[in-house]
Structure 1
Amino acid sequence: MSSRGRPRTFSRDEALRSAMEIFWDKGFDNTSLADLTRVMGLNPPSLYAAFGSKAKLFLEAVDLYGRTDGAGIWEFLDDAPTAREAVHDLLKRSAENFTQWAEPRGCMVVLSAPQMEGGDTAVCDGLKARRLEKQVALQSRLERGVADGDLPEGTDCDAIAAYVTSIQHGMSIHARDGASRQTLMAIADCCAAGWDAMVAGVTTKAQF
């Protein structure tokens, strides 16, 4: 029987993986529909039928990244015995993860983001929510440190979490620019070395 008119079969998982890799390498804005159809082996109608839109495809690719190449960084916050060790471990894991491949390097969630002004709202909001989720997880770990007596009462856990995630985002940019794992590890060590001064700088004495 003739197969004329039947859609060509494809592996959705493989196509999504290909999309993830090009989005990670080129970013959302710089990845064209032609780029996507080329690497995914799909024509535009098939791509839209399978994934809905470029924005939906991108966010699904970001979630795939989180489960695969981007995994192994944030999952161990609760394993370290102290907040300082949790932060140091987080940054060291980031240094290892961001340099595990020759290309692309760094964090897809940070580096593939479009410009907010004029950018796709769903993509911008989706990435912002994913970044905030990680920062909130870190803040919760720091608050546990206060509850455990590991950090002093009055520690501004929100400020420290924002600072540490900013350091991590900066490490991602350094990785993309070609920084070595040794350099990124040194950044993690610098953050750990200044821990006591940082905590003291954002801690207010409890009022009685």
Structure 2
Amino acid sequence: MALDQALDLFWRRGYEGTSIADLTEELGITAPSLYTAFTSKADLYREALERYREQRGTFTARALIEEPSFKEAMTRMLRDTAHEFTRPDRPRGCMVSTAVLTCASENEDVARHTTSLRNQSLDMLRTRIERAIAEAELPAETDAEALARFLGAVIQGMSVQAQDGADEATLLTIAETALRAIDFQKQ
């Protein structure tokens, strides 16, 4: 499917690193056909990000929702991150974590959109942490915002490490270190 091809291309090369010529060559269509189908490169990128989140990037949300305890959710989330970010059948890292961190001024709308996606992930983490505090799985004095940002930074760092060639075993050591840093003691 064209959207999946565009997704993989954007994931490998980034938004600014992917030209219209790259997209038309990859998709096997002309530029006018691309614009007819997707309106703009930015709209195609937004659709690709949404597809990524709906299909390939669901493992974090599933871990947070499906695991009964906070500790189990964090363990699964970070271990799955190590696995998913280093799969040999797809680009390495996370398409959203490292998407459009810096850009030309004409691409600021795209950068703001990807920032909003990262913030949604932080909100999801913070909500799960707040639940763990309310259920006494974490100490009452736990700063939910700070812990969510810490975990977000770990995941983003693992994405960069994966893009730089770190293997799953290396990312698992990062995951285990992060897990040891979290105070899972019940009050």
TM-score strictly above 0.5 = yes
Residue 42 (1) aligns with residue 53 (2)? no
Q: Distance in 1 between matches of 2:109 and 2:47?
A: 12
> Structure 2 matches for 1:34-183, cutoff 5 A?
34-101=21-88, 103-116=90-103, 118-183=105-170
- Root mean square deviation of aligned Cα: 1.7
The aligned length equals 185
Q: Which moved more, 1:119-128 or 1:58-67?
A: 119-128
The CA distance in 2 between the partners of 1:68 and 1:91, in whole Å, is 18
Question: In structure 2, how many angstroms separate the alpha carbons of the residues matched to 1:34 and 1:60?
Answer: 18
Partner Cα distance (2:85, 2:106) in 1: 26
Moved more, 97-106 or 172-181: 97-106
Question: Counterparts of 1:119 and 1:99 in 2: how far apart (Å)?
Answer: 32
For 2:178 and 2:150, the matched residues in 1 are separated by: 10
Per-residue CA shift, 1:14-57, capped at 9, x if unaligned? Answer: 11111111100000001011100000111111111110101000
Does the CA-based 8 Å contact 2:6-2:26 persist in structure 1?
A: yes
Which structure 1 residue ranges, 5 or more long, are not aligned? 1-13, 201-208
Pairwise CA distance, 1:111: 3.0
More displaced stretch, 70-79 vs 88-97: 70-79
State how far apart, in whole Å, the 1-side matches of 2:10 and 2:172 are. Answer: 26
Q: Structure 2 length as normaliser, TM-score?
A: 0.92
Name the CA distance, whole Å, in 1 between partners of 2:28 and 2:119. 34
Q: Percent identity?
A: 36
The answer to whether the 8 Å contact 1:73/1:97 transfers is no
Residues 32 and 15 (structure 1 numbering): CA distance in 2 closer, same or farther, change over 3 Å? same
Paired residues of 1:135 and 1:161 also in contact (CA < 8 A):
yes
Normalised by the length of structure 1, the TM-score is: 0.83
State the 4+ residue runs in structure 1 displaced beyond 3 angstroms.
none
Structure 2 stretches lacking a partner, 5+ long: none
Is the 2:75–2:179 contact (alpha carbons within 8 Å) kept by the matching residues of 1? yes
Question: How far apart, CA to CA, are the structure 1 residues paired with 2:173 and 2:47?
Answer: 33
Flag the structure with larger Rg.
1
